Amino acid sequence: MAAKRVGIVGVGMTLQSSARRDVYGIELINEAVRAALDDARMTRKDIDAIVIGNMDHFEGINYVDTWSVDGSGALGKPIMKMTTGGTTGSTVAMGAYYHVASGMFDRVLAIGWEKNSESDTTGAIITAFDPFWDRPTFGGAVAGLALEATQYMAETGATEEDAAYVAVRDRKNALNNPYAHLRMELNIEAIMGTPYLAWPVKLGDMCPRTDGACAVVFASEDIAGDFPNAPAWVHGVADRHLWAYTSDPYVNQHVKGGTWFPAMERATAELYGKVGITDPLEQFDVAELYLPYSFAGLRYMESLGFCERAGAPALVRSGATDMGGKCPVNPSGGVLSSNAIGATGLLRVAEAALQVQGRAGDRQVPGASLALATGFGGCYWSDELVIGIEKPERNRG
């Protein structure tokens, strides 16, 4: 039996901010779920199954699928929890997509959330890694990403200013997003003037820690036309989770045929092959990418095939990824403006859907019809989805 085609028919997100003290975790989840259900003109009763995700040890609540049933609407319904680090939100999206594509469920609610204000994020990230080989010396996401940034600069000649351009772009875009956490117009000098957290990564290069939630309704092709919003169709998904330990991802770059980021490059090859992407810069109208720090907006563009190796500084400085450029990246302000970790990957998918539906408000890319959304996490893991307004001829996987 062929897999069903799947459309996104409802999107809900909460205000993203440094500390949502006004809501308990369950209430934060409920805020996003109500918004998504309202958006699709649905009630809780219409939902067949739920996929929820966060990093449970960030809140210290280990039973989130059960604990949150009142808020998520999962009371008496099939529910699965997915937790994959930074990719959690994009994995949740893919999990909901698989549920519907299987033909077993018609309407599936995906929920991603986090209250990073409730624990120490660096400490929590360290405890996601191996207790023998990683934890004694690991310094969390900031330190881990800095290793990559050092290598990228050494091998390509890229500069800290090149990276700062990405931070300026994403934070400026966030001014158009009423849900974003950091909404500030900064210039390159301002980013360069922020203190080093882990050389060469500065405070201004790094994502914030955020409280927030996102919910998205996925519907089968059999009923996706029954909603007020035109479906944003999932054209394809791919993911690769490679590597066990924090030092593993660097190995591949020094062996024959080694590449920057093999998980992303392999997922990209599979996804573009399935969907028919040969020139992403030309074919995608917009991209919502999980760029947790500024240097990712250089190196990952190369792994996603937007330019040749070492070509990203010229690409971003050309304005091609700015609003009004060939393929705007992160009109929402991206992860550099809001990072409620379990929500973050799902927000990329939600934003991509809003863009192709023409419902992205002040952050809309005019006429956008095909979008790329990504999730990044763990030891250089990669989730990728293509979302389009055109109904695909068949489910391509």
Nearer to another protein by C-beta: 140 or 375? 140
Within residues 23-62, the interface with another protein by CB under 8 A covers 60
Nearer to another protein by C-beta: 131 or 228? 131
CB of 249 to another protein, least distance (A): 9
Q: Say if CB 36 and CB 9 are below 8 A apart.
A: no
Token pair of 375, please? 């999730």
286: number of Cβ within 10 Å: 28
Within residues 148-207, the interface with another protein by CB under 8 A covers 148-151, 154, 195-201
CB of 201 to another protein, least distance (A): 8
| Region from 147-155, 159-167, 180-188, 307-315 binding another protein, contact rule CB under 8 A | 147-155
CB of 176 to another protein, least distance (A): 25
Q: Say if CB 77 and CB 125 are below 8 A apart.
A: no
CA 321 – CA 361 distance, rounded (Å):
19
Q: Say if CB 25 and CB 69 are below 8 A apart.
A: no
Residues near 67 by beta carbon (within 8 Å), at least 6 away in sequence: 25, 26, 61
Place of tokens 């939600």: 350
Residues near another protein (CB under 8 A), total: 46
By CB under 8 A, tell whether 309 contacts another protein: no
In the DSSP assignment, the letter for residue 293 is B
CA 196 – CA 236 distance, rounded (Å):
39
By CB under 8 A, tell whether 143 contacts another protein: yes
Among 11, 64, 109, 142, binds another protein (CB under 8 A): 142
Question: What x/- string results for residues 90 through 129 when contact with another protein is judged by CB under 8 A?
Answer: ------------------------------x-xxx-xx--
Bridge partners (DSSP) listed for residue 377: 381
Nearer to another protein by C-beta: 159 or 176? 159
By CB under 8 A, tell whether 133 contacts another protein: yes
CA 276 – CA 283 distance, rounded (Å):
10
Q: How far is CA 345 from CA 134, 139, 244, in A?
A: 25, 23, 21
Among 189, 245, 308, 361, binds another protein (CB under 8 A): 245
Give me the residues that bind another protein (CB under 8 A), please: 21-22, 60, 120, 122-124, 126-127, 130-140, 142-143, 146-151, 154, 195-201, 242, 244-248, 250-251, 254-255
